[in-house]
Chain A
Amino acid sequence: MAAGVGKTFRMLLEGQAELEAGRDVVIGLLETHGRKETAQLAEGLSSVPRRRVGYREAVLEEMDLPEILRRAPELCLIDELAHTNAPGVERTKRYEDVEEVLAAGIDVLSTLNVQHLESLNDHITELSGIRVRETIPDAILGRADEVVLIDVTPETLLDRLRAGKVYPVERIDSALNNFFRIENLAALREVALRQVAEEVGAKRLTTELVGSREESLAADAPQAVGERLLALVEPYPGTQRLVRRAWRSAQRLGAELDLLWVRAPGQRLSDDEERSLVALRQLASVLGAKMVEEESDDLAAAVVDFASQRGSTYVLLGRSRPSRGIARLRVPLPQRLMQRLPGVDVRIVADRPLRQNGEKL
């Protein structure tokens, strides 16, 4: 989640437990950040000294990968997985070192903050205004046998920070004014909880399927449970509400959201509709939804084609405008979609409530 939550502490606890259980445990790299409790917990565990690497006129300390491979313990503790190595070291990133250690048959316990995951980088930047430079591909986390979330409340973490347990005294004010704001920490916590829940869910599903006759399905399983929402929009003010609802649902499901406007061939828009369309595109862009405009005189067919191509699992639409004349005899759009898109949920987003005199609000 963030510095100071206790990742290194937990890693050392696990290492001590493994040592007591009789395994050959070595610390490959430890960053105590001057925390006494962390350093104390490392006592009793043997460690591989860091190597010194010259870069320009400075001398930097890095993990000694060749020595770890030579020492070949059963379990190696390597802190700060997202670290970037100094120039001159064999590999650019520490996670690449870890891959080599794993390839040598050595188990690894490592630590990582959620903001260092590549796919979450933009999200965290938006959240905190701070771009995290050191990232690792999500696939690295996906390869871990176990992911353990170190969770503390933002209030507890701030108390630790103020007590000088996270950073030295001179850095506390700066941290409190920048990254360590309660809203940042609360949002980071939410992101971390979601991320680990998704990892656990994907692993459970794969584990259940591997070894059974459905083995071939295992590779596709995480994709198969992924949701994709499709909202049918039109350029008029009420559509924004539909889009917001669809987006909220997509957020809850961790799903992608597509917006589709099926425009009649040759349809000309009024000034109001043009403005609504611009606003709709802007809304889609801010929300991270993909907006697509297609021209067709058969709305249902266009929606079915699009939903099939995109693998939509939900279709959301607003209440249809009342039909006139012979069109009243036609099967309503939601029913047509349900018939032609088996397995896809069709949801009609309700209109606003009516006032006493029956006029729509």
Chain B
Amino acid sequence: MSVVVLVAVAAAGVLLGIAAGYWLPPNGRLAARNRPRPVRRILLPFTGQAISRRAFEAAVRLAKAENAIVMPAFLARVPMSLPLDSALPVQCASGMPLLEAIEQRLSSQGVPVDSRIGRGRSARDALRNLLAQEHFDRIIVSADEDPRAGLGYEDLKWLLERVPAEIMILRPAPQDTRRISTKAVGGHF
């Protein structure tokens, strides 16, 4: 009798262990589904090989305050002589390291990140295509003195007039030259 009870107890223990193993999250960490999920989406578009540190910091502050996910987006330009769906390895060679650098910085500050790539005939066209695909609650844009480094005045005007999202345009002071560039990539990439 006692043997049967012992076997039954042991079997129940094993079943309980398996059930616990299935339901309990591994390594005692909070299960992903139980973590608070970011609710707002902040787009941080860029075109060149560096972005303004001020724009980046604004994105971090807002993301922390609003429990938002930051979505850095590299805007690639397709030359007129190439089809719109062309691969763009040359631009990606500079855009991908910067995307990685931004992701690393955001992650190191505990901000959730989900990158994007937009593609179009111009930076504005790439942004337009991106906005047509997804909804973003807020867009943070750096207005740069150098039109080749980012979105120009006409692009910003278009953004304000046409895009149904909160737009934050930051124009760093001329002396504020702090930027995040591809050189900021940490480790092997």
Contact = CB atoms under 8 A, between A and B. Distances in A.
B90 A361 contact: no
A276 B134 CA distance: 11
Interface in B11-34: 18-19, 21-23, 25-27, 29
Contacts of A352: 104, 107
Contact of B103 (A130, A241, A282): A241
Given A286-B92, A325-B21, A352-B107, A131 B81 contact: yes
Contact of A326 (B18, B90, B107, B134): B18
A347 to B, nearest CB: 12
A123 B27 contact: no
B2 interface: no
Given A131-B81, A244-B99, A244-B100, A282 B117 contact: yes
A348 to B, nearest CB: 13
Given A126-B86, A237-B115, A361-B107, A324 B21 contact: yes
A283 interface: yes
Interface string A275-291: 11011001101111000
B93 interface: yes
A244 B96 contact: yes
B82 A286 contact: no
Given A278-B133, A282-B119, A123 B90 contact: yes
B177 interface: no
A247 interface: yes
A251 interface: yes
A187 B90 CA distance: 8
B45 to A, nearest CB: 14
Interface string A299-342: 00000000000000000000000111110100000000000000
B87 interface: yes
Contacts of A285: 85, 87, 119
Interface residues of A, number: 38
B179 interface: no
Interface residues of B, number: 42
A126 B82 contact: yes
B164 interface: no
Interface in B140-168: none
A84 interface: no
Nearest to B23: A324
A138 B85 CA distance: 24
Contacts of A286: 76, 87-88, 92, 117, 119
Contact of A324 (B22, B80, B92, B134): B22
B127 to A, nearest CB: 14
Interface string A97-125: 00000000000000000000000001101
A134 to B, nearest CB: 14
A129 B78 CA distance: 8
Interface in A238-260: 240-241, 244-245, 247-248, 251
Interface in B101-119: 103-104, 107-108, 110, 112-117, 119
Contact of A283 (B107, B112, B117, B133): B117
A359 B108 CA distance: 11
A187 B85 CA distance: 22
A125 B29 CA distance: 50
6 contacts: A125-B81, A130-B81, A278-B134, A286-B76, A287-B87, A287-B92
Given A288-B89, A324-B23, A325-B22, 13 more contacts: A122-B82, A237-B113, A244-B189, A245-B189, A279-B114, A279-B117, A282-B119, A283-B117, A288-B88, A326-B18, A326-B21, A361-B107, A361-B108
Interface of A: 122-123, 125-127, 129-131, 187, 237, 240-241, 244-245, 247-248, 251, 275-276, 278-279, 282-283, 285-288, 322-326, 328, 352, 355, 358-359, 361
> Which 8 pairs of residues, A with B, have the shortest CB-CB distance?
A288-B87, A325-B22, A322-B26, A237-B114, A131-B81, A361-B107, A129-B79, A127-B90
